[in-house]
Amino acid sequence: MDPAQRTVYLDHAATTPMVPAAVEAMTEHLFEVGNPSSLHASGRYARRVVEESRETIAQALGCRPGEVVFTSGGTESDNLAIKGIHWSRAAELGPRPRLITSSVEHHAVLDPVSWLEAGGQAEVRLVGVDSSCRVDLDQLRELVAERPVSLISVMWANNEVGTIQPIDEIVAIAAPHGIPVHTDAVQAVGAVPVDFATSGVDALTLTGHKLGGPFGVGALIVRREVGVTPLVHGGGQERDIRSGTIDTPAIAGFAAAVELAVKEQAAYAARVGALRDDLVRRVIEAVPDAHLHGGALDPLGEFRLPGNAHLGFPGCEGDSLLMLLDANGIECSTGSACSAGVPQPSHVLLAMGCDPDQARHSLRFSLGHTSTAADVDAVVEAIVPAVERARAAKAPR
Ligand SMILES: Cc1ncc(COP(=O)(O)O)c(C=O)c1O
């Protein structure tokens, strides 16, 4: 059975279904042969598909085609930006320059940053956030003034609580010091307006499977003037920054998805944002002590991704609630990661000032392009019995 038919899928921030345009663009090329690096006609045809896809993405995201470096997805693009730019800058700045990121990044940023620190290659500073998850710009100003900085990496929008960061202000702080800025825009592209050139950032990460494209393909958009030391060496593909035979069908599907997501962004944000507002309002009506995280600052407005509803349910363990809803066919997520079978509170919620208990009683519903009013109705119907059972399971006996 098609899982999408029997489930209420509200985990679009984890991955979202492919759009038909992307499936068509990808499958069209699956039976074709031709390595885009080959000189014969089949190779030249594959190269044309890749270069047209690059142009499509550049057009949609306001960059030059030569700035698009195809990768295997968000994790690789983040690693390439962090390590590649840091290494290149360290060659100019001297040993162990400062590397700044925020405390609420995805692990695809936090882990390469800590790896550089553990190896003695970087002095890492994490900028804190307020209770809405917005980065502390005063702290960032102090950190850039103290000593040479290789790179600032702050995500465009947070994957857990959906908060949109003030990227333009971060760029304004970095620019006078000549510090490159990277942003992980994995959750932002297609959900909010994203334009590379006008944003002023030097490097931007995106991935196919979060915006209606295939898994295993993404891009790092990076200004040509910014030095990037490659992580993968080989055939010299992608400006010698990212070697490896290029996946023509996946790139064609990715480009079709980016084009559509950007074209439909405004309509998507209006429709999905209204569904999300309805979900939050009705869940809080049904469970009056439930609350929206990141709510101190215009909770449902311009600083939050349209599809994100991150709710706290006091007295519940988020993971029990998740399993109870799953048993009713409703799929969502918690921000907690499991370590040795024990759920660990989300680093994002802790950084926002929640205590570990508050951080563990949370659920993320993330809506997307296939979400409907019936999905919201299903959550509203299931939430009260699920919360009652989760509370009973947690209450001391
Ligand atoms: C903000 C953010 N960055 C990076 C990633 C990793 O992307 P990928 O799954 O394409 O490796 C994710 C995926 O969850 C994400 O949400």
Measure 220 CA to ligand 1 centroid, in angstroms: 13
Tell me the Cα Rg of the chain: 21
Beta strands in the chain (DSSP E): 8-9, 68-71, 98-102, 123-127, 149-153, 181-184, 203-207, 218-222, 291-292, 308-312, 330-331, 337-339, 342-344, 362-366
Is 249 in the same domain as 278? no
Q: Is 214 in the pocket of ligand 1 (CB under 6 A)?
A: no
Structural domain includes residue 8 = no
Query: 38: phi > 0 → left, psi -120 to 50 → alpha, else beta; which?
Result: beta
Is 274 in the same domain as 195? no
Give dist(CA 357, CA 267) in Å, integer: 37
Structural domain includes residue 297 = yes
Of 244, 263, 282, at which residue does a domain stop? 263
Best mutation site among 153, 210, 247 for ligand 1 pocket (most ligand atoms within 8 Å of CB): 210
Is 281 in the same domain as 135? no
Catalytic (active site) residue 354: no
- Residue 41's pLDDT is 97
Q: Measured on CA atoms in the order 111, 115, 121, 126, is the torsion positive or negative? A: positive
Is 344 in the same domain as 222? no
Measure 41 CA to ligand 1 centroid, in angstroms: 36
Report the CATH number that the domain containing residue 219 is assigned in CATH. 3.40.640.10
Is 236 in the same domain as 377? no
| Residue of 63, 133, 316, 338 with catalytic role | 338
Is 142 in the same domain as 231? yes
Is 251 in the same domain as 340? no
Give dist(CA 215, CA 257) in Å, integer: 12
Structural domain includes residue 10 = no
| Count of alpha carbons within 13 angstroms of residue 124, beta-carbon side | 21
Q: Which is the closest atom of ligand 1 to the Cα of 218?
A: 10
Domain housing 140: 20-263
Cα–Cα distance list, 180 to 42, 82, 173 (Å): 39, 11, 11
Measure 195 CA to ligand 1 centroid, in angstroms: 19
Residue type (1 letter), 322: L
Task: Report DSSP letters for 90-104, one per residue.
Answer: HHHH-SS-EEEEETT
Of 225, 245, 263, at which residue does a domain stop? 263
Is 109 in the same domain as 196? yes
Q: Which is the closest atom of ligand 1 to the Cα of 108?
A: 4
Structural domain includes residue 15 = no
Is 42 in the same domain as 174? yes
Structural domain includes residue 198 = yes
Give dist(CA 328, CA 386) in Å, integer: 9
Give dist(CA 164, CA 193) in Å, integer: 11
How far is C-alpha 291 from the chain's CA centre? Answer: 23
Structural domain includes residue 207 = yes
Phi, psi of 305, deg, nearest 5: -60, 140
Give dist(CA 51, CA 64) in Å, integer: 12
Q: Which is the closest atom of ligand 1 to the Cα of 155?
A: 1
Cα–Cα distance list, 119 to 20, 68, 114, 330 (Å): 45, 30, 8, 43
Structural domain includes residue 149 = yes
Give dist(CA 201, CA 220) in Å, integer: 12
Angle among Cα 336, 342, 15 to the nearest 5 degrees reads 35
Q: Is 159 in the pocket of ligand 1 (CB under 6 A)?
A: yes
Structural domain includes residue 85 = yes
Report the CATH number that the domain containing residue 384 is assigned in CATH. 3.90.1150.10
Single out the residue of 306, 325, 307, 312 nearest to residue 381, CA to CA: 325
Single out the residue of 14, 76, 12, 8 nearest to residue 337, CA to CA: 14
Dig out the tokens for 298 from the structure: 């215009």
Q: Are strands 149-153 and 181-184 parallel, antiparallel or unpaired?
A: parallel
Is 279 in the same domain as 311? yes
Best mutation site among 75, 154, 217 for ligand 1 pocket (most ligand atoms within 8 Å of CB): 75
Is 214 in the same domain as 285? no
Measure 199 CA to ligand 1 centroid, in angstroms: 20
Q: Is 63 in the pocket of ligand 1 (CB under 6 A)?
A: no
Of 263, 278, 299, at which residue does a domain stop? 263
Best mutation site among 159, 167, 211 for ligand 1 pocket (most ligand atoms within 8 Å of CB): 159
Is 252 in the same domain as 282? no
Q: Total domain count for the chain?
A: 2
pLDDT tens, N- to C-terminus, the chain (397 residues): 455 557 999 999 999 999 999 999 999 999 999 999 999 999 999 999 999 999 999 999 999 999 999 999 999 999 999 999 999 999 999 999 999 999 999 999 999 999 999 999 999 999 999 999 999 999 999 999 999 999 999 999 999 999 999 999 999 999 999 999 999 999 999 999 999 999 999 999 999 999 999 999 999 999 999 999 999 999 999 999 999 999 999 999 999 999 999 999 999 999 999 999 999 999 999 999 999 987 644 555 678 999 999 999 999 999 999 999 999 999 999 976 655 566 788 999 999 999 988 888 999 999 999 999 999 999 999 999 999 999 998 876 6
